[in-house]
Amino acid sequence: MRLGLLLMTLAPLATAQRMDVLPQPGSAGDVVVKQFEAAAPAVGAAFPALPIHDEAGKPFHTSSLKGRWTVVVSGCLT
């Protein structure tokens, strides 16, 4: 019961703190987050399988990412 009360007390604080750092509604960052949450493959889903390239431009299939824990981070020069 005490733990429950504590969580109820802390939850609004945690939410308020998080709201401070979320992108402004309607900002480009906000649009990115909403689009991502709505359309990106969900937790538990398979990572998309398709042929792409390695960094030398040679064929690479994303299905080969199976077999080990893997981190994929999108990026570019800018």
In the complex with another protein, the residue whose CB is nearer, 2 or 53, is 53
Please state the closest distance from residue 29 (CB atom) to another protein, in A. 6
Please state the closest distance from residue 4 (CB atom) to another protein, in A. 25
**CA distances to 2, 12, 19, 52, 56 from 5, in Å:** 5, 12, 22, 51, 56
Binding-site ranges for another protein (CB under 8 A): 17, 20-23, 28-29, 32-33, 35-57, 60, 62-63, 65-78
**CA distances to 6, 45, 61, 68, 78 from 64, in Å:** 46, 16, 6, 10, 28
In the complex with another protein, the residue whose CB is nearer, 6 or 40, is 40
Closest to 47 (Cα-Cα) out of 33, 61, 58, 34:
61
In the complex with another protein, the residue whose CB is nearer, 3 or 77, is 77
